[in-house]
Amino acid sequence: MNDLGFENPWLLSALLLSLPPLWRSGVKPTRHACLSLLPPDALSGWLDWLLRILPAAAIALATLGAAGMHLKQQKIARLAHGAHMVILLDRSKSMDNSFAGQTPSDGEQSKASAARSLLNKLVDQRRRDLIGFAAYSTSALPILPLTENKQALHAAIDATASPALAYTNISKGLALALAYFDQKPTAGSRIVLLVSDGAAVIDPDSEAALRQLFKRTQVRLYWLFLRTENNPGIFSTPEDNRDDNPQAMPERYLHMFFTSLGIPYQAYEAEDANAMRQAIADFDRLEQFPLPYFETIPRQDLSGVCFTAMSISISLLLGLKWLEGRK
Amino acid sequence: MPNPTFFRDFRAWCLILSCISFLAMQIYPRISKEQPIYDLTLIVDITRSMNAEDYRLNGQPVSRLEYVKHCLRELLISLPCQSKLGLGVFTERRAAILFTPIEVCSGFPEINASIASLDWRMAWAADSRIAHGLFNTLQEMTDKNSGLIFLTDGQEAPPINPRYGPDFSSLKRQTSGFIVGVGGLQPVTIPKFNTLGQRIGVYGPDDVPQRTSFGESDLNPEKIDGYDARNAPFGRAAPVGEEHLSALREDYLKQLATESGLGYSRLTNAGDLARAIGASKPARTTKQFEDIRKYYAACIIVLLLAQLI
């Protein structure tokens, strides 16, 4: 019964109107000289009973129909391959440059637009995932909560087509992405997909805080690093020892930080759109863990059924009327 | 056996009429109504002056930004389905659109959560160049076919030199929409926060630039005390002013609205936004269907009760 809902519950008070027919049937009494002369007739008894029940039922059904009876929207637990994923996108100014590190010329793609089209595809591919979307530049921008609304996700990804914002403050971005999972019950695998074209130094305070957050939230981290030509990459080692510091090679140091976290972590270095596509495909293949999810079954309208049943009652009543004996 | 008196009995007619009502219900179960549909992009000022607390909500003083969020939530609830709402934030000299308009009914939880997470800490820079921000937003929104609602208190920080404002003439009337003035008309203090986000008092007169020092002054040089074209274009007097306090700059916003061909409306209670939007031109109208089966049902109930008499 908990699954039944009504559009206009107050109309249910009209159910009281189905009581009068029970003690008064709409049959005109016929005069008879002596009732006791009549033999007891079981059929008449049944018909009398029907004449009371049918209009009462018709009124009750009409009321239920008018009140908009429906089966409420239901959620059925199912198991599928998927994850809870937060996409964390770099919105620093350099993302608007091409992979060659220049303002994109005709026919060239900027890193941001390459990322945009790939993320749009990824969102469509990952059918069962709950996906959240956040961006960061000098500060972190929470954009969408974890959601299965693909239309909203596309809207958020498309909105990043506007020029990028400012600098790269990766620690704020990571803290925001992890906050999506903090203090929430664990369900299935949790992913943070970081898409960026550069790293920045993480100060020791934030580093300690991030370490704790990573440990607490138990996420799997994927870093899609869009490497600009001739820039140091994640895996490059310095030729000169004096360059081996986070200021000179922030990417290498961020990678070392991620590796030292002790969480499942995978880094991809992409130098063009093709490499990005491969990285995303690889990610998609790796992240196929069982995920309990709820399938929503939309509510079902029952008022049509009520009205049909009502019409049957009325038709039967009309048939009985037709049979009524008269003088 | 059919009875010739059948059609003379009003009870039979009641039943026949209720059958006819049922048939009519099956044929015309609903009526259509014209319903306005809106497509709007909300740009919310998240600069520091929006932290000034000059609104009241449930008897508690709340910041302008909190109040704007409250009003946007109310607006989200009141918009008819199929309408679309996009959201963006303004700071520095431009707006960042968080998502392009999405349908309000299917996207309700997402839009609601995004409104709730609006925060002054999202600002990527601290300036508040409203005219430039509006200009940039209008540039972004041309050919987007979405109405603009720009919510701000109108306080430029640092103060601008009126000589160097953006020229809106190329963008005038390209985008429909209006500027919404947020805040009270009495100047109030602006809370100040430290790097950990803890509140540490309010901005004082020495914390903010009190006047512009950019370019040339727009005053007559002869009127400026200690004027020197190269070394002191704004004179030698120490700048004094009330820029550390914040009030809604209504005249300024009205002027911006006129220049950019937008409307202006002031936010004083939660219904204002919905009213202003209701009075504006909708993106389109659509046929909305209303279920009228309950009226047939009422008719049938009356007929069924009548045949008991």
The dihedral through the CA atoms of A30, A34, A35, A38 has a sign that is: negative
Torsion of CA A187, A137, A142, A81, to 10 degrees: -30
| pLDDT recorded at residue A187 | 66
Contacts of B12 in chain A (CB under 8 A): 318, 321-322
Yes or no, beta carbons of B103 and A151 under 8 Å apart: yes
List, for residues B197-233, the tens digit of each pLDDT value. 788 888 888 777 777 777 777 777 777 777 777 777 7
List, for residues B226-281, the tens digit of each pLDDT value. 777 777 777 777 777 777 888 888 888 898 888 888 888 888 888 888 888 887 77
ipTM over 0.85: no
Of A65, A137, A149, the CB nearest to B293: A65
Q: Give the span between the Cα atoms of A78 and B279, in whole angstroms.
A: 46
Of the listed ranges A187-201, B40-54, B96-110, the least confidently predicted one is A187-201
The phi and psi torsions of A295 (rounded to 5 degrees) equal -90, 130
The dihedral through the CA atoms of A325, A327, B1, B6 has a sign that is: negative
Q: Give the span between the Cα atoms of A42 and B155, in whole angstroms.
A: 90
Residues 20-49 of B with CB under 8 A from A: 22, 25
Contacts of A26 in chain B (CB under 8 A): 11, 307-309
Residue scoring higher pLDDT (B66 or A251): B66
pLDDT at A312 over 90: yes
| pLDDT recorded at residue A308 | 92
Full-model pTM: 0.75
pLDDT at B52 over 70: yes
Tell whether omega for the bond before A104 is within 30 degrees of 0, i.e. cis.
no
- Cβ pair A318, B16 in contact under 8 A: yes
Contacts of B89 in chain A (CB under 8 A): 141
Torsion of CA A258, A195, B98, B173, to 10 degrees: 150
Q: In what helix (H) or strand (E) does residue A85 lie, and over which residues does it extend?
A: strand A83-90
Segment A195-205 shows an average pLDDT of: 80
Q: Among candidates A6, A78, A46, which has minimal Cα distance to A301?
A: A6
pLDDT band at A1 (very low <50, low <70, confident <90, very high): low
pLDDT band at A136 (very low <50, low <70, confident <90, very high): confident
Nearest residue of chain A to residue B301 (CA atoms): A59
Question: Which amino acid, residue B37?
Answer: I
Q: Among candidates A28, A19, A77, which has minimal Cα distance to A52?
A: A19
Residue that has been written with the tokens 């519950």 in this structure: A9
Segment A83-107 shows an average pLDDT of: 78
Of A156, A317, A324, the CB nearest to B98: A156
pLDDT band at A61 (very low <50, low <70, confident <90, very high): very high
pLDDT band at A146 (very low <50, low <70, confident <90, very high): confident
Give percent of chain A above pLDDT 70.
94
Contacts of B113 in chain A (CB under 8 A): 144-145
Domain B32-208+243-290 sits in which CATH superfamily? Answer: von Willebrand factor, type A domain (3.40.50.410)
Annotated domain spans of chain A: 4-26+40-73+299-323, 76-295
| pLDDT recorded at residue B175 | 82
Residues 261-300 of B with CB under 8 A from A: 291, 293-294, 297-298, 300
Nearest residue of chain A to residue B307 (CA atoms): A26
Annotated domain spans of chain B: 32-208+243-290
Helix (H, G, I), strand (E, B) or coil at A1: coil
pLDDT at A276 over 90: no
Question: Which amino acid, residue B30?
Answer: R
| pLDDT recorded at residue A101 | 67
Yes or no, beta carbons of B113 and A156 under 8 Å apart: no
Q: Round the CA-based radius of gyration of chain B to a whole number and report it.
A: 29
User: Under 8 Å CB-to-CB from B56, ≥6 apart: which residues?
Assistant: B62
B117 touches chain A (CB under 8 A): yes
pLDDT band at B78 (very low <50, low <70, confident <90, very high): confident
| pLDDT recorded at residue B23 | 92
Of the listed ranges A73-77, A143-147, B295-299, the least confidently predicted one is A73-77
List, for residues B173-183, the tens digit of each pLDDT value. 778 888 888 88
Residue scoring higher pLDDT (A297 or B12): B12
**CATH-assigned architecture of domain A76-295:** 3-Layer(aba) Sandwich (3.40)
Yes or no, beta carbons of B106 and A20 under 8 Å apart: no
Yes or no, beta carbons of B109 and A145 under 8 Å apart: yes
Of A139, A149, A324, the CB nearest to B123: A139
pLDDT at A327 over 60: no
